[in-house]
Structures are given as C-alpha cells and as structure tokens.
C-alpha cells in the first residue's frame, strides 16, 4: 500500500474504477490509515497453513469471503483470477505479444533497464503514471486509469514478493474489466515488527477468552450502513458459507469455513481433518508459461 501512495487517485479515474468494481478499494487506499504491525505479526504466528485458520486458545478463526466483500467491497462470485503468467497471448483469442499489449493499453513501452522478465519496476510506473496531466483527452485519462488499476492489483491485492515490481499479468484483466465491467472476476486475497509490542500482543491473545472475542463483527446496523451495497445481495452472501477452493493463477487455497462456524452464528462441531494441499501452496512463477485453467483443471472445475 505504501507503493500505491505514489499514484494519486484522480477524480477522472472514478468511472473506470467503478466499471471495474474497484472504486471502494481505491477509496480505502486513498486514505492513509495505521497498521498495527505487531498485532498482525502476533496473529501470523498463530496461522496454520494446513488449515488456513488462526489457532486461538478457544478455537479457530479465519479471514472469510465475507471479510473480503465487506471490508474491500470486492465481488467474490465472479470468474476465478487465473490464466498464464508470461506468454498469455498464446492462449488468449486475438492476443497480441505481451509488450505490444502494454503499448496499446498504456501508450508507452518501459525501457529495458526498468523491466525484469515480465515485471516493471514500481518506481518507473509511478514516475510515468503518477499524475494525469491537466486537460488530458479521454484516451490519455483512460490510459492513466488503466495504469492505476494495474498498480492497485499488483501492490494492494496481489503483491509481488519483491514488493517493488508490477507484473504485466494484469494486462488482460485491465482490458477485460473495461469490456465486461463489475463482478466479472472474483478477487480473493492472501497477505508481517518484532519486539516488546509483539510479545505484549502474544500475551493478550494467549489470555483471550471466548466471550471476549467478537465472532460476528458485522452484525450491528452501524456496521452494515458503511458496507458496499453490492456485497449485501443474497447471491453474494450465499458464497460466504461455501467450502471451496480459492484460485490465484498457480496458487490454490482452501476456504474452510466449516472450521469457523461461530463466525457465521453457528455452533462448531468437531472439524474434519485438514485437506493437505501444501504442494499447491508452494507454487511460484516457475512454469509460468502454462495455462493454469488446464494445468490445474481439477481445481478450476471444483
């Protein structure tokens, strides 16, 4: 998010962000808020990758699709975010070579010293698209809005491990979002200061009692008033309770809300054994020329 602050949210981008279903997320990003890194770190220590849940003294809890919808205003029941990380033009009908697509959508090609494989340095991206010129024509505004969306996806939702590059995997999505609009895709997330404050939070969590934990933070009318209205439609809400796979290119995670039923007002029975998909969690950019909807077809069909 600190990277994203280098690109100002211009009012002229708003129609395109609304069209893409990302305006609520962009508004959150446009207002700086403090992150308690020590608290986040203490929770990360309680995260169990085999169950995708936080193991608390009184049971398990996790980040759910409801959190994604309520806090970020993102749809959770669209097409999965997948495809190919590199030579995607081979698989996309009418696809141009990747850097030709970059030129067409953004109006410029990055210099070679600003490119690492299929990623562009954030610093160049911010210097080039940081502020849309006054009096810019519609096509120029559209290009800057596309760049803003790419930065939003590449740094706030799906950060590269290097934290300083924008992958051009987002070019097809920028084009498709313009064409097909809101709710086209399902945006799912994954996301650590050591010291005395971490130790303080560890101790407080260790002493936390079930009755002190707010299982259903969105149940009050005051909270619902500020939720993105699209998220409250029944067709979205039904999916919050689904046990299913969450797909992001080569990475698959498991939405195991059957282990955290108190977060939805239910009583927790003894959970089923964890589904072991560690081999999917270890995926990286190797084999990035594969078309993952085919290579991981079983999970996409599921």
User: Which pLDDT score, from 0 to 100, does residue 189 have?
Assistant: 42
Adjacent-strand bridge partners of 244: 255
> How does pLDDT run across 123-182, given as a tens digit for each residue?
898 899 988 999 999 999 999 999 999 888 888 788 766 668 888 888 888 877 766 654
The total number of structural domains in the chain stands at: 1
Return the sign of the alpha-carbon dihedral for residues 39, 40, 43, 44: negative
Give Cα 296 distance to the centre of its chain.
Answer: 20
User: Which pLDDT score, from 0 to 100, does residue 213 have?
Assistant: 92
Structure tokens of 136?
């810019």
Structure tokens of 254?
């498991």
Structure tokens of 58?
């009184």
User: Which pLDDT score, from 0 to 100, does residue 192 have?
Assistant: 45
Tell me which residue has tokens 């990747």. Answer: 98
With respect to residue 3, please indicate whether it lies within any of the assigned structural domains: no
With respect to residue 302, please indicate whether it lies within any of the assigned structural domains: no
Tell me which residue has tokens 């997948």. Answer: 82
With respect to residue 6, please indicate whether it lies within any of the assigned structural domains: no
Backbone angles phi, psi at 81, to 5 degrees: -90, 100
Give Cα 202 distance to the centre of its chain.
Answer: 27
Burial class (CB in 10 A: 0-12, 13-18, 19+), 279: exposed
Q: Which residue numbers in the chain have pLDDT < 70? A: 1-6, 29-33, 93-94, 160-163, 178-194, 278-287
CB 146 within 8 A of CB 103: no
Please name which of 230, 240, 301, 246 lies closest in space to residue 265, comparing C-alpha atoms. 240
Q: What residue ranges in 215-298 does DSSP mark as E strands? A: 244-248, 251-255
With respect to residue 1, please indicate whether it lies within any of the assigned structural domains: no
With respect to residue 169, please indicate whether it lies within any of the assigned structural domains: yes
Q: Could you list the residue range(s) of the whole structural domain that residue 62 is in?
A: 11-297
With respect to residue 112, please indicate whether it lies within any of the assigned structural domains: yes
């Amino acid at each position: 998010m600190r990277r994203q602050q280098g690109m100002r949210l211009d009012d002229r981008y708003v129609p395109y962000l609304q069209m893409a279903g990302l305006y609520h997320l962009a508004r959150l990003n446009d207002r700086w808020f403090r992150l308690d890194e020590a608290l986040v770190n203490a929770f990360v220590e309680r995260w169990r990758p085999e169950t995708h849940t936080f193991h608390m003294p009184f049971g398990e809890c996790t980040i759910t699709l409801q959190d994604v919808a309520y806090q970020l205003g993102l749809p959770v029941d669209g097409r999965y975010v997948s495809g190919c990380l590199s030579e995607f033009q081979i698989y996309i009908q009418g696809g141009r070579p990747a850097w030709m697509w970059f030129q067409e959508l953004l109006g410029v090609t990055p210099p070679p010293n600003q490119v690492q494989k299929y990623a562009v340095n954030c610093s160049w991206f911010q210097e080039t698209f940081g502020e849309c010129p006054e009096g810019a024509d519609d096509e120029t505004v559209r290009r800057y809005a596309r760049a803003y969306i790419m930065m939003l996806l590449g740094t706030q939702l799906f950060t590269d491990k290097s934290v300083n590059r924008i992958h051009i995997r987002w070019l097809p999505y920028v084009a498709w979002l313009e064409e097909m609009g809101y709710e086209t895709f399902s945006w799912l997330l994954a996301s650590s200061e050591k010291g005395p404050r971490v130790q303080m939070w560890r101790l407080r969590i260790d002493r936390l009692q079930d009755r002190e934990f707010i299982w259903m933070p969105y149940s009050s009318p005051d909270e619902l008033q500020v939720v993105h209205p699209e998220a409250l439609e029944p067709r979205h809400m039904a999916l919050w309770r689904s046990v299913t796979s969450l797909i992001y290119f080569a990475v698959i995670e498991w939405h195991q809300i059957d282990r955290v039923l108190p977060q939805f007002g239910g009583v927790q029975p003894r959970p089923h054994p964890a589904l072991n998909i560690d081999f999917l969690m270890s995926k990286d950019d190797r084999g990035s020329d594969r078309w993952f909807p085919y290579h991981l077809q079983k999970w996409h069909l599921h």
